[in-house]
Amino acid sequence: MWAATPFAKLTVSYMGRIARLLILFLLLVIVVTFHFFVPIVNSNFRESSAPSGSTIAHSVSRTPKKNVSFVRDKTPRTQKSSAKYSQYLGERNDVWGRTLPADVQMAPRKTIVNVGFFEGYRKTWNYPTLFQPPLSPRICECFKENDVKYYANVTLETNTSRTGMYGILFFPQDVSVKQLEPHVWDAILMTSPHYQRRIYATFEGAAKLKFLALDPPYDKKVFHWSLTHHSKSEFTMPYGYYSPFSKQLSTLGPKKNWAGGRTGLVAWMSTWSVTTWKRDGFVNKLQKHISVDMFGERNGRKRCPRNSTECEQKIRKYKFYLALENSCCSEYISEKFWRTLLWDIVPIVVGAPRESYERLAPPHSFIYADDFVSIQDLAQYIFKLHKNDTLYNQYFEWKEKGEVFINYPDLHNTAVTSREPPKTFFYSCNSVCKVSRKYLDEKPDTVRNNGEKLNNSSFFDPKVSWWCGSCTKCGKHDWIRN
């Protein structure tokens, strides 16, 4: 019988140990595989099969639990989706831990876009006669599509360090906002996830906002979209607009004499606003050639509170109204022009280029002051229309072809208590939902089938030629320019 040597015994012992180590290693591989690989497969399956429920969709970042852009239903709006942007969270609270409204909690399939309005550098509230600062947070119910309800969770944000938590971040632009220092923009951009869209939003004309224009390199990397009165903005909010009828109205019967009952000639409501041209001087010169009645609360005016029914009733008795803008920029046609048309008065305008009026206003509805070589010629033309009802009525023929609407909300003479933004204002749920729809349609957080990240964002520079870059000295003729 063969006898085992000490060396053979040692070899068998080591082989046993190695076998046991191999078995332990294989068990460890199996555990790791089930722990990491199976959830990824299931997550991909859930994205493609789209059962009911809710998820939080966000990009992986340095602080993934904070940089959350929107709560999304498991059913994607398009097939371009990736499981790595999905994380299951509770349905009762938002990403800040705030309790959602009961009706939002109970929606079985929903998408909630987190929207912020950055108010951290506002000196005063600029809209007290329109509305007070909106409730924050508040939920906007936007729309329903394919049995999925879409909401916007809106917050007025004052903390720079929290701006990276929003998928959509509005930057309101008005005269009460301070210009942000470069280090502030650096802090905002450093924490902004790639899927965030930042919105330049204003209800002001471009000339008032030149002091907020961005210097390089921020002019090419801060704002993705703009929301202004201009038609070239991604989101347009004009002060008013003209809409042609689909069918021309019947003109049977006698035509209305729009000059009837008008006892005044030219009216003007003066304001205290800063202008880029000598608007008061223009009116004073015109007054030397023709009767101009000035309304307002300044000395020497026919006194009546601005934006009051009393003023409106008085001005409606005039044939002409001086709709003089405070600056001359592309498409800057403010509410004073559209309100004049609604009051059935012929506006005499100085403001945007003539091309803007021709494209946006009703045809042959206004008198463009810069068409005349002198203020005497303008005065003579006004007097000619005053004496000839047939010529005057030609300025109202557009009423048979279309109608005008005004978007500018009703102003009050004193501060209001309502915290509900007017529907046409960018703080409103109406505007927030429009931006949210575009955000979801573009889906900046998604990837293509080949794994390439979608990055189709371009940037809005406030100095662009159609915005701040369009503002020029008013008038081509010296009698207006000087």
Ordered mean pLDDT values, 10 residues apiece, the chain (482 residues) = 49 67 75 46 32 33 38 40 30 74 82 94 92 95 91 96 95 95 96 94 95 93 97 96 86 84 93 83 95 79 74 93 97 96 98 98 98 98 98 97 90 84 94 95 54 60 97 95 86
Q: For residue 187, how far is the Cα from the chain centroid? A: 23
Is residue 217 exposed (0-12), middle (13-18) or buried (19+ Cβ within 10 Å)?
exposed
Instruction: Cis check for the bond before 137: say yes or no (omega within 30 of 0).
Output: yes
Tell me, what's the pLDDT at 52? 34
Residue 116 phi/psi, 5-degree rounding, is -120, 145
Tell me, what's the pLDDT at 100? 82
According to DSSP, the β-strands at 346-350 and 367-368 are parallel
Tell me, what's the pLDDT at 89? 36
Tell me, what's the pLDDT at 466? 98
Q: Nearest Cα to 229, choosing from 200, 198, 197, 269?
A: 200
Distance CA 187, CA 222 (A): 12
| Integer angstrom CA distances of residue 458 from 198, 224, 390, 455, 471 | 11, 6, 52, 9, 23
Residue 324 phi/psi, 5-degree rounding, is -100, 115
The DSSP code for 394 is: G
Entry pTM: 0.79
Tell me, what's the pLDDT at 123? 93
> Do residues 352 and 472 touch, judged by C-beta distance below 8 A?
no
